[in-house]
Amino acid sequence: MPDVTIIDVSPRDGLQNDPKPVSTEEKQQLVRMLVDAGVEKVEVTSFVHPKKVPQMADAKELVHSLAHMEDLEPIVLIPNLKGYERTKELRVSEINWVSAATETFNAKNIGMSIDENMEQFLKVLGEAKQDGIKTCFSVAVSFGCPYEGEVDEEQVLRIVRRVKEAGVDRIGIADTIGIATPDQVERLMSKVLEIAGTTPVTIHLHDTRGLGLANAYMAYRAGVRIFETSASGIGGCPFAPGAAGNLATEDLVYLFERMNISTGIDFEKLLDAADYAAILSSKNPLGRIRHVERKKEKGN
């Protein structure tokens, strides 16, 4: 068993806000390459309204086309009860539900208050348990909000307590705008892990300010063993100004493997997937190690 689990979110969070159209076939190829590299858990798409996020308009078609991939544990993001109704007939291993730690971000992102969002989630959670689908509840802007600024830790912990008591299968903490510092990460994640107990906890990091790897290492030191990253570091949040760039999957895998922390991922094949992800994106990917390794191969 690997020491840590990597969930790659590039097909969803990496591409959702990209203005360059990406075909269903290209998304399939990216998922295939990630799975071939040993990434078993991939957040493949989001069941949001096509007018809000046009890039995810092929969500149903994409998930259906991946049903034959036995080594894939597909995860999909859903924003509301209607999204779950569209999802549950398909082969997914887990749904990811997002709520923000602040009211302003929640209103602009999802169009609901935190309490309204929680009420809908609890309905979905009950249905998902009956349908045998696992659930993750992710708390966005856990370290800082583009509208409200600094976020009080207690705002995050209050939500974590509620979903823990409700019986969620996984809890996610997200640095949506890439504002966190390593000391903040270690402090908050230690508290989240204490509340979560045996419930798995994930951290989702953006590398907007270049602190993604440092924050990931401090999360590991705090006890986090599940990390959400994006191949080549593509993507960002369409509802958070300036929040371009996830932590690159290959950068984190490189760090862990150099530290003898096993990921179960084939690094060379992951680099191939990262190269492909970079081609699909219209933006300049933030991933670093890919460029270093490719220059070595060329002898530069």
- Which residues are catalytic, by number? 237
Contact 262, 252 (CB under 8 A): no
Q: 10 Å Cβ neighbour count for 289?
A: 20
CA–CA distance, 98 with 101 (Å, rounded to integer): 10
Pairing of strands 94-100, 73-78: parallel
Place of tokens 């159209």: 21
Contact 39, 270 (CB under 8 A): yes
DSSP 3-42: SSEEEE-IIIIITTT-SS---HHHHHHHHHHHHHTT--EE
Reference 204, options 1, 2, 12; nearest CA is: 12
Contact 99, 139 (CB under 8 A): yes
Say which amino acid occupies 144: G
DSSP 57-70: TTHHHHHHHTTT-T
